Amino acid sequence: MLDKIAAYFRNSDIDYPLLAPLLASSMLVQLVTALIRVTTSYRAVELNLSIIWLGVIAAVFAIFPILIAVRVGRVIDRGHDARVAWVGSAIFLIAASGFALWSSPIGLLTFSMVMGIGHIMLMASQQMLCVRAAGPRSLESVFGNFMVANAVGQGLGPYVVGWVGGSAAVPPTGQLFAIGAVLAVVALAAALLMRPLRTAPVAAASQEIVPVRDILRVRGLVAVILVGMVLVSSSDVIIIYIPLLGAERHIDVHDIGLLLTVRAAASMLARLFYARMVSMFGRWPLIITTTFICAGTFAIIAMPLPLWAMHVTLAAMGFAFGTATTLSITIIVDMTTVNARGTANSLRIMSNRIGQFVMPFGASLIAALSGLAGLFLSLAVATALAAGAVWLKRPRSS
């Protein structure tokens, strides 16, 4: 039996010694990010901060990553994917420790910035490490597993908040920030197990650098980047404002944690079946359909639903979100050449950060003017428009 298992791994075109620590690092980073960002919302409630202040804290997560995204992509394209992950994990740990030690309004603002820098380095490098871990026949499978690991982390983060907080209106934020710092140490240890590219950096650097304008001219690529930006930014807004929606509708911390966990579990389920769905329906029809479904669920959550209906809606949202966001990565990888993938992916992440800067702040203004229902309806409109853009700009053969 053991011989058969060993033979399977030898014959597979997946690089498991690279993939295993990559998946562990990805899961832990997403867990810590979700835990800290939900806890930040509750800490803002403790400090009696306004909803606009909360939007600013969420927005600064994206400011500095916008400035360094293309440079990070160029470094990765020169063969330094693992090293970027190491540095990103170290910065991420500094941020998580900062939240635990200094959670004043200025501290929340400062370490949200620092965490954003570490996070973009990790996301850009991890996704290109997936390409390196995959063989010619296994790209969809590796990315599906990678996104499952992301979804597990995204689900465990809110679950930990709910488990520690229990039936309290506001959980013990200091304890939760400390848990995040400890888990960030483990995430750094996992990242350090990812080996660098064996090709000499000089050889990688000698490859022709594709200009950004040429990358953006690929038909449909900008539309896919736009979908990813709207979906990821909307996901951030959901994580930030669902706790406030719970407070408004008198839903306790435990149930809010379960709602976010259900959403993440549905994303994980979608990613488990991702490769099969792509083979059945094709990438482009699938990304258009699931993005429109996301828009519908944002509109539904704006309604005064009973708790069971909120669970069903967030499950549908999670499944569609998990499928569409995975497609936004693999479509870009498929559309670009080998020596432009890191840059193209960093442009995608940069656009996500622009959205994460603009949308939370804009959402806070909308929520202040029209309430949380107006906020979720605005997300529905933005997502539907992004889905329409992909439908219009898809390759003519799709």
pLDDT tens per residue, range 221-259: 888 888 988 998 888 788 777 877 777 787 877 888 788
Of 263-277, 311-325, 356-370, 371-385, which range is least confident? 356-370
Inside any domain, residue 68: yes
- Sign, CA dihedral 150-155-156-161, equals positive
Report yes or no on 134 lying in a domain: yes
pLDDT digits (tens, 9 = 90+) for 315-340: 999 999 989 988 988 888 777 776 77
1-50: pLDDT as tens digits: 444 444 444 446 678 888 899 999 999 999 999 899 888 888 888 888 87
In-domain check, residue 242: yes
Q: Is 48 among the domain residues?
A: yes
In a domain, 82, yes or no: yes
Hey, what are 398's tokens? 């799709």
Total domains in the chain come to 1
What CATH number is given to the structural domain containing 339?
A: 1.20.1250.20
Enter the tokens of residue 2: 């053991």
Task: Judge if pTM exceeds 0.75.
Answer: no
* Residue at 205 is within a domain: no
181 within a domain of the structure (yes/no): yes
Are 120 and 349 a contacting pair, CB within 8 Å?
A: yes
Cα–Cα distance measured from residue 225 to residue 231, given in angstroms and rounded to the nearest whole number: 10
Structural domain contains residue 389: yes
Domain that holds residue 134: 16-197+214-393
* Rounded Cα distance, 372 and 152, in Å: 27
Please name the amino acid found at residue 325. T
Contact 268, 151 (CB under 8 A): yes
Q: Which of 146, 157, 94, 155 is nearest to 123 (CA)?
A: 146
